[in-house]
Amino acid sequence: MEHLSHLIMGLITGALFGIVIHKVGAIRYSRVEGMLLLRDLKIMKFAFMGIATASIIYGLADIFGVAEQTNLLPRIMPYLGIAHLIGGFLFGIAMASAGFCPGTCVARVGAGKFISIAGVLGLILGIVIYSNIQPWLVEIGILGTREKITLYGALGLPYGPLAVVWGVLFIILALVADWFDPAKKIGYDQSNQSSFISKVIKGEWHWAVSGILAGLIIAWATAQGEYLGFSGGALAFVGWIADLIGHPLSIVPKINESIMWHAGLIIGVIPGAFLSAIISGTFKFDVVPPAFAKGVAPFPWVRLILVFFAGIFLALGAMIGGGCTTGAFLSAYPTLSVGSMAQSATYFIVGVLTANLIYFGRWSKFIQAKKESDEVYD
């Protein structure tokens, strides 16, 4: 099969990242929604440490003049103007409504939470819809701006030293977030109650360890000449399948090595999360997050519809705005891309507002469901 080696490398990279996001608890509804409600900051701390790790690796490679030799040349996400606001708005609402992003939605399927299959189908349909409306979006002026604007370019500073300082700043932000994390004060985070061996095998990994591993995987993807982003992976997968069945997407005109790598990336998350869930003893079929079931969508058909449409709007938001939580935040911030900052800031603010609106006056329901969430590893 043509491009098989790139597909395999993408699969391996995706599987490794799938293990990490499962072990840190990033696929859990209560963790994602807890972050957006600003009541559980573990995923935020994990992301900050991942950004810090990749930033320092890229920065040191640049400073010591080995970036080109090691292929640690970060890809800059372009600045898309108003598309970041529209895409971020759609993405933020969808993420807060269903408690997942493209990568974690797929990983949840691997971990046995099969309600997320509806989200995956939504992602696929959303990409097909975007492929059809993309020319219209260009015509009306939403898409079209593609400037590579960076923080170091705007400040007139060399990339390497600023990237290292950026990385140190995110380590400090992670420590500050850990200091103020409400989850530690109200007993919401039970991550320190197990032995080290039990933690490694069964429990969740510490946010700092997981973040460092995520940063290393992101840098390794860059060294492979690729970019770790799951919305891009979903696009590559759908484009590949469309090409195989004889109906290629206009936005994926050619199936090349990079497309195959990214298709492998999104597919690889499933066995990675599955393996992690099996080893951890948390794999359970058809588990619906308790807080989601009780606080958001009490009826099964409502849950399926909500998750399905969340997938559609996640795809549309990521395609229009230029990235998801991994592609526009974890992988993009180390590149100091201003476009990624605009996209991620928009969807985070909208996500926080949406989550608090959903649970307005009902925060106690979320707290009450937390114990059950721990038991089923939602």
| Structure confidence by residue, pLDDT tens digits, 131-147 | 999 999 999 999 988 88
State how many domains the chain has: 1
325's tokens: 């939580």
CA distances from 108 to 115, 274, 277, 288 (A): 9, 9, 10, 11
Task: Give pLDDT, residue 298.
Answer: 80
Q: Which residues of the chain have pLDDT under 70?
A: 1-2, 185-199
CA distances from 267 to 4, 43, 71, 237, 264 (A): 14, 22, 24, 8, 5
Task: Give pLDDT, residue 198.
Answer: 66
Domain span holding position 22: 4-376
pTM across the whole model? 0.93
Distance CA 142, CA 325 (A): 21
CA dihedral (43, 48, 54, 58) in degrees, to 10, reads: 160
Instruction: Tell me which H or E stretch contains 52.
Output: helix 42-63
> Which amino acid would we find at residue 58?
Y
Task: Give pLDDT, residue 189.
Answer: 52
97's tokens: 């409504």
